[in-house]
Chains A and B, each alone.
Chain A
């Protein structure tokens, strides 16, 4: 038995209330965050659904993450669940490509994946921010092993065609120089009393000290070639041992070129909360998540069902589909309720019996186009020759980035990297090319950054999301305006039908969006069914 205390210790809530009262809500928020609350997406715990009436039948459309998770939780709650899936596989956009896989696009272009055994490429989702707690929760629950995904690599390259003579610079060199020169300008302006109007005298002191520290400035507030800057950007000749071990400082880049290059955008990109460390990837390919989910519900899934119509009345929901495993035979399935996770790019063209406002919402969301290109090389030259272990090099060429594998470091033999990730206009352009041409372009552009490309290339595959028959797009593109008009309707329960998927979330284009949307949809549906809401 512990001894009684003279004064009762604070409970956690009391402590938080005290901090809140004393220091205002910002401090409260910070305290909560540091104690493990109030960060990341809004996932807290899995739903606890009780009181399902036995025999109530729920039909789930789509065996992607949203569909499989809905089925998993609804069955656990006691419902009679089935899933219809269009493809001959489950997982949806959670997919990895390996040797022997075939990619067939709209229009008929077909690619065979020729990677060495054991190698894979994630053409869809490929990284999971640490704060995507919903997805991470279920990965843990279903025994899906995760490893770190490297987003920022200070030794990777930044490349701008029109600056630094078209030569790549190391992320480390650029970031050190960009911060250094910016800090120098600010510190000197303050020192020369040019900011006296907006900065008070005592703040001046701290600002200058901060800039010195942040920007690696000399005592006279300069950012210049020398040991101080080289400890950030790297030495011309690195520190060694023995007699000739003294390092030689490196030259700094031209300030004008740095500002002109636009490469600072990539620093900002990596500062977004989505890209902050720690990020994860499943060991062995992103599809390990889809497979892990499928293990939970595989007895519920019927593959090769092409849904054509969804109707409903007082009695229930009827889904009409072509059974593609049996010559496209028309079949129907009845249920009491339906959770529909079909992407809006497809659903918007099906015959769906819902209210007009819901129809308008389903039609209101365009889908982004995206292309990813996976390239296999005979060896890890980025590691062996350039000391790049994981992370991303960025370029202003259409391929936009080269991402090195965050696994299998130091292995001998072939490895696969992401040789291009295109969005927006370049994506349209590359989707419209034959796959072979996409590869040629990716090799040509990648060669600007890595001379080894042409010599070491083995094979590759590209994935054009808008020409992928089962989704016909990459992911939903909500605008604020469309959200205001249609989002709540899209998420509402239309009599017996509720939609779920990344498109019904504020975490669009991420797997977490599918998870959170599914949990929200089935929780509300369950409440509706048991009459609690």
Chain B
């Protein structure tokens, strides 16, 4: 129940856009992700860019991309899914890029790899319930 309150509050802070064209980009080619279904593939082609291979994370100029390996915050699959859907801080949102099944697959992959051993998998239905409402402006 406390989790539900958490999400309700969290949803208030959502960042919702997908196709906003940032200035000096071509803003057009957003790439094909439909073909990625396996959690490992999604991790490799998207998450790994910042969280690095094996979920090692990385450290830059006084800031870091958090390691996912042995990360106690992964205890709640819903929490991880909410971060994937909505982003957090510097991390962009993936609610538009990934469908419910893809979000569930990558979350379950991360929570069962990189020295994480959480066996309670999240289901696509649960992800669907958490999905932010996308305004037409950004869809």
Which A residues are closer than 8 A to B by beta carbons?
86, 106-107, 125, 127, 265-266, 269, 274, 306-308, 344-346, 348-350, 363-370, 394, 396, 398, 400-401, 421-429, 431-432, 464, 466-473, 475-482, 507-510, 513
Contact = CB atoms under 8 A, between A and B. Distances in A.
A423 B29 CA distance: 7
B25 A509 contact: yes
Interface string B81-98: 000000101111100010
Contact of A350 (B24, B47, B53, B62): B62
Interface in B87-130: 87, 89-93, 97
A422 B31 CA distance: 9
A472 B65 contact: yes
A469 B30 contact: no
Contacts of A476: 22
A513 B138 CA distance: 23
17 contacts: A86-B61, A107-B52, A274-B24, A307-B62, A346-B62, A350-B62, A366-B91, A367-B90, A369-B92, A432-B45, A432-B53, A475-B24, A476-B22, A479-B15, A480-B138, A481-B14, A507-B23
B48 interface: yes
B26 A469 contact: no
Contacts of B26: 269, 394, 400-401, 421, 423
Contact of B89 (A106, A366, A478, A482): A366
B16 interface: yes
Contact of B25 (A344, A370, A473): A370
Interface string B48-76: 11101100101111111100000000000
A426 B31 contact: yes
Contacts of B61: 86, 306, 346, 469-472
Nearest to B17: A479
B28 interface: yes
A125 B24 contact: yes
A419 to B, nearest CB: 14
B49 to A, nearest CB: 4
A476 to B, nearest CB: 8
B45 A344 contact: no
A107 B74 CA distance: 22
B131 interface: no
B15 A364 contact: yes
A366 B58 contact: no
A479 B18 CA distance: 9
B46 interface: yes
Contacts of A350: 62-63
B31 A472 contact: no
A480 B138 CA distance: 9
Interface of B: 13-17, 20, 22-33, 44-50, 52-53, 56, 58-65, 87, 89-93, 97, 135, 137-138
Contact of B90 (A307, A366, A424, A464): A366
Give the dominant DSSP class at B's interface.
Answer: loop
Given A350-B63, A366-B15, A480-B137, A107 B58 contact: yes
Contacts of A401: 26
A346 B65 CA distance: 10
A28 B78 CA distance: 56
A477 B62 contact: no
A424 B29 contact: yes
Contacts of A363: 89
Given A125-B24, A425-B46, A482-B15, A467 B29 contact: no
Contact of B138 (A396, A427, A479): A479
Contact of B22 (A345, A421, A475): A475
Given A106-B59, A422-B29, 14 more contacts: A106-B52, A106-B65, A107-B52, A306-B62, A344-B90, A346-B62, A432-B49, A467-B50, A468-B60, A469-B60, A470-B60, A472-B60, A478-B20, A507-B23
B52 A477 contact: no
A432 B29 contact: no
A508 B90 contact: no
Nearest to B44: A432
B89 A424 contact: no
Contacts of A509: 22-25
Nearest to B138: A479
Closest 3 CB pairs of A and B: A425-B31, A431-B49, A349-B63
Contacts of A425: 30-33, 45-46, 97
B99 to A, nearest CB: 13
Contact of B31 (A429, A467, A481): A429
Contacts of B14: 481
Contacts of A349: 62-64, 89
A469 B63 CA distance: 9
B26 to A, nearest CB: 5
A398 B29 contact: yes
B28 A266 contact: yes
B50 A466 contact: yes
Contacts of A475: 22-24
Contacts of B24: 125, 127, 274, 475, 509-510
Nearest to B57: A106
B90 to A, nearest CB: 4
Contacts of B93: 366
B117 to A, nearest CB: 24
Nearest to B20: A479
A467 B60 CA distance: 8
A510 to B, nearest CB: 5
Contacts of A478: 20
A475 B27 CA distance: 13
B92 A366 contact: yes
B18 to A, nearest CB: 9
Nearest to A427: B49
